[in-house]
Amino acid sequence: MGPTGLLGLLFFLLLPWSQVYASRGILRSVVIKDPPTAKDYCITYNSTWTTLPSTYTNATFYRLLNLSSVSLCSRSEVPSLGFENMAVLVMDGNCNILDKALLAQENNASMLLIASKDGLPAPKGNKSDHLTIQIAYVKYGDVINMGQVLGKDIDVTLYSPTFAQFDISLLVIFLISVFTVALGGYWSGLSEMEDLRPSPSEDESDRRKKKDENVTFTPLTVILFVVICCVMLLLLYFFYKWLVYVIICVFCLASAMSLFNCLSALIRNIPYGRCRMSCFNKSAEVRLLFLAAFCAAVSVTWAVFRNEDRWIWILQDILGIAFCLNFIKTLRMPNFKACVILLGLLLLYDVFFVFITPFITKNGQSIMVEVAAGPSERSEKSDESYVEVPAESQATYEKLPVVIRVPRFQYSAATLCDIPMSLLGFGDIIVPGLLVAYCKRFDVRTASSSIYYISCTIAYAVGMVLTFVILMVMKTGQPALLYLVPCTLLTSSFIAWRRREMKKFWNGGSYEIMEQTENAVNEEHITGEAQEVQ
């Protein structure tokens, strides 16, 4: 395997769709004085406990009582005047939030705001029915800010804007994934065409180099590949904190190389500016050197600003697309048999780690979702013990960069909370992409006017739409491969069956013949698989 293949393999992880459906709302705080001032802050609340209005127009405002120096765990902490019709703000920690709420409600408070220094947790617990007070978390930093901006005599209310099920981000993800799969397949077909018609001017070393660029899977390597994926996922589950940095480094390297490969393939077609520079017996086109510097700069920029949620997703998606394109073009499936094994095994892998592992793990979370959502899930876990108060806000958790992510646009326009992201794992693009690329190369070899390629790409798009529909109905993350794999495999088999080319399609058509002659020329090994097939 070439270096690119190895790098890719290292962090070829399959993450499912996952979306954040936490209940977030807004705390609107106003001061009625001249001039009236208002400011909004992000809160989290539990929608099964409280229903919030969707706007603040008709909402009741309560006077804010700033008790942020106490945590309201004992009666001695209640001021003698009580909380008649007030919104009480207390610190998190020392006791369960429901004990605080009970104490606040007994003293006639209307709302309990809990200032958290540890991000915004989700309020949960065994709430009894007679506890009707509104309960919400607010960030401690926001409490300080509120005091600075609004001063004293603040009135507050809670509301939660409603959002449509469908968000533009889904459309963006759809376009990105179908574009990447289609272009990756097309590119793979182009390089196949070049291989089939070696131009006479090319010398032996050039051809050898070209062959090294691409890596062909055999059924055995496919199985090995899936085993490595499983091991990687388990390692990540247990050693997330450290391995996430390894993955980030590998992503930086691999995506910079991929971006370079993609862009240099484009640039080579531009006939201008081919001046060369030579150094130590090696010569390179100056523009390619510039391109390499540019790609390195892009990837370093991503690494530096990777936690800037508001805009970094654009860079991450560009690098991700380049990575997927390069992967689809470089790794070649030799025949449909290998495709079926790869897609089938990865489908099982996805389903196993999403749906079966919740029955095995201690906390009932699926390993896949834990790794994919890693950070937020983990911070909630530490919340179960209410013994210690976190001293200061913890650093934001690192997220795995192996997903295409797009912010949910309706949220970003309307809230101050962290924007929920729609995510699609690279695997959901690459795995079907390898099949599409095989279809395209089969088209090229059998000169069948792209029928396999086009129908397989359409099947992929249909599978994505199916994933969205099921996602919106079930409202939880979905392993997209569950829908993409059957769609693409069945469609391409159907086409092969209708065109009576199943045998050829299954065995890879003229591929082995070409492979063997080339191997004979290059004196390289002939894989046992290729012989067996014939």
Out of 118, 317, 428, 443, the active site residue is 428
Q: Which stretch binds ligand NAG (CB under 6 A): 54-62, 247-255, 260-268, 451-459?
A: 54-62
Q: Which stretch binds ligand NAG (CB under 6 A): 65-73, 261-269, 296-304, 523-531?
A: 65-73
Q: Which residues pair with 368 in a beta bridge?
A: none
Name which position in 34, 75, 76, 128 contacts ligand NAG (CB under 6 A).
Answer: 128
Binding flag, residue 51, ligand NAG (CB under 6 A): no
Residues 11-40 that bind ligand NAG (CB under 6 A): 22-23
Nearer to ligand NAG, 124 or 211 (CB): 124
Q: Are 134 and 50 in contact (CB under 8 A)?
A: yes
Out of 92, 142, 317, 350, the active site residue is 350
Binding flag, residue 149, ligand NAG (CB under 6 A): no
Residue 23 to residues 90, 116, 126, 159, 365, Cα–Cα distance (Å)? 21, 16, 17, 11, 19
> Residues 481-510 vs ligand NAG: string with x where CB under 6 A?
------------------------------
Token pair of 365 as six digits: 């979370």
Residues 83-102 that bind ligand NAG (CB under 6 A): 84
Binding flag, residue 55, ligand NAG (CB under 6 A): yes
Name which position in 39, 63, 117, 124 contacts ligand NAG (CB under 6 A).
Answer: 124
Integer Cα distance of 441 and 189 in angstroms: 5
Binding flag, residue 66, ligand NAG (CB under 6 A): yes
Token pair of 476 as six digits: 């939880």
Fill in the DSSP letter of residue 525.
P
Binding flag, residue 68, ligand NAG (CB under 6 A): yes
Binding flag, residue 264, ligand NAG (CB under 6 A): no
How many residues of this chain bind ligand NAG (CB under 6 A)? Answer: 25
Helix H, strand E, coil C: the string for 259-314 is HHHHHHHHHCCCCCCCCEEEECCEEEEHHHHHHHHHHHHHHHHHHHCCCCCCCHHH
Q: Are 353 and 234 in contact (CB under 8 A)?
A: no
Q: Minimum distance from CB of 294 to ligand NAG (Å)?
A: 44
350 is catalytic: yes
3-state DSSP percent of the chain in helix, strand and coil, to 5: 55, 15, 35
Q: Minimum distance from CB of 68 to ligand NAG (Å)?
A: 4
Token pair of 295 as six digits: 């790609």
Integer Cα distance of 421 and 419 in angstroms: 6
Q: Which stretch binds ligand NAG (CB under 6 A): 138-146, 179-187, 390-398, 453-461?
A: 138-146
Q: Are 247 and 11 in contact (CB under 8 A)?
A: yes
Binding flag, residue 82, ligand NAG (CB under 6 A): yes
DSSP 38-64: EEEEEEE--TTT----SSSTTPPPEEE
The residue among 172, 462, 215, 212 whose CA lies nearest residue 321 is 172
Q: Which stretch binds ligand NAG (CB under 6 A): 62-70, 340-348, 460-468, 509-517?
A: 62-70
What is the separation of C-alpha 228 from the centre of its chain, rounded to a whole number of angstroms? 20
Backbone angles phi, psi at 419, to 5 degrees: -80, 130
Token pair of 531 as six digits: 């012989």
Q: Which stretch binds ligand NAG (CB under 6 A): 125-133, 258-266, 297-305, 394-402?
A: 125-133
What is the separation of C-alpha 270 from the centre of its chain, rounded to a whole number of angstroms? 34
Q: Minimum distance from CB of 129 to ligand NAG (Å)?
A: 9
Q: Minimum distance from CB of 46 to ligand NAG (Å)?
A: 4
* Catalytic (active-site) positions: 350, 428
Binding site for ligand NAG (CB under 6 A): 22-23, 46, 48, 55, 57-58, 66, 68-69, 82, 84, 107-108, 122, 124-128, 143-144, 146-147, 154
